[in-house]
Amino acid sequence: PDNSQLGAFEAYKYIKTLVKPGDSLNLFFDKKTQDRYGRILAHVRLKSKKNLAALLLRQGLVQQLVFPPNIKFWKCYQVLEKKAQAEKKGIWATSRYTAKNTDSANKFTSGYQRFKGVVTQKSFSNRYIWYRLDDKIWLGFKKNNLIYFPKKYFENFVGKKIDVRGWVYYSHDSLRIRINHPLQIQF
């Protein structure tokens, strides 16, 4: 537990109350069945017919991640996560999952982070549309993933205050976050 992500041990204990040795679980899949590391991507239905991810989200023990093209249930999951956030349940009661100002970021910032700020600039590359957050962090929208965003999503995007979450990395002398799905941004 010492090296675990915040909430991992609590989620593990909760799952142990739901799943007993010998219980059968049903897996159901979306478009991709494995990620690039060979891990199985599936939704888990318990013996009780309940969706495990939904239960964990509602308790605030996990946060929702979306990896297109696997987008099944994301809207339902989002509702459950927002309820847990509003009630400050589980991980949402900690400062670790609160959006930070971009001033706290530097070139050594990495991992899954949440920031708030104002979109200040727009740029293009061959495969991405880039928006800058507070002139500090580039948000990269892969052009292939734009199909997941509503048509008018980017109208007047520069100047908007947003809360963004994703994996931060340092490249080309700047911090960057790849944005794959609208779930990663709140206005």
Residue 91 DSSP class: G
DSSP 113-172: EEEEEEEEEEEE-SSEEEEEETTTEEEEEEGGGGGGS-TTTTTT-TT-EEEEEEEEEEET
Mean pLDDT for the stretch of residues 29-35: 95
Specify the pTM.
Answer: 0.86
Peptide bond between residue 69 and the one before it cis (omega within 30 degrees of 0) = yes
| pLDDT value for 125 | 95
The predicted-structure confidence for 129-185, as pLDDT tens digits, reads as follows 999 999 999 999 999 999 999 999 999 999 999 999 999 999 999 999 999 999 999
The predicted-structure confidence for 62-119, as pLDDT tens digits, reads as follows 999 998 999 999 999 999 999 999 999 999 998 888 899 999 999 999 988 999 999 9
Q: Name, in order, each residue with C-beta under 8 angstroms of 75's C-beta and a sequence gap of 6 or more.
A: none
